Amino acid sequence: MDEPRIRGIDLFLGFLIGLGIGVGCFVMTLVLAMNIPGMGGWPFPVLNGAALMVAGYFAARNFNESGMARARGVVIALSLVFLLNGICGVSLARRW
């Protein structure tokens, strides 16, 4: 079976797109968490994690033959951002 060739530039572009999506999720949840009165800092990592999971789901769902390298790059970037979000969530939990 012939596997499609993955081009490095497409993977890198997908990675950049994934970082952009991660920053967008960060800004969206930061604004949302700041507008929830009396909740402290704990909803931020939870909301950011939920937004990243939804974005990762849609990126993985679009994992088809034509844009396979870009979709892989997006999933890799979102996974790294999700990992950093978990680290920030643990550090916030220790403070509270």
Who's near 74: CB < 8 A, 6+ residues apart?
Answer: 14, 15, 17, 18, 21, 59
Residue written as token pair 């909301």:
47
Could you report the per-residue pLDDT of 3-27, keeping only the tens digit for each?
666 678 888 888 898 888 888 888 8
Distance CA 95, CA 50 (A): 22
Q: Is the confidence at residue 66, as pLDDT, over 60?
A: no
Who's near 45: CB < 8 A, 6+ residues apart?
Answer: 85, 86, 88, 89, 92
Model pTM?
0.73
Could you report the per-residue pLDDT of 26-61, keeping only the tens digit for each?
888 777 777 777 666 667 777 778 888 888 787 777
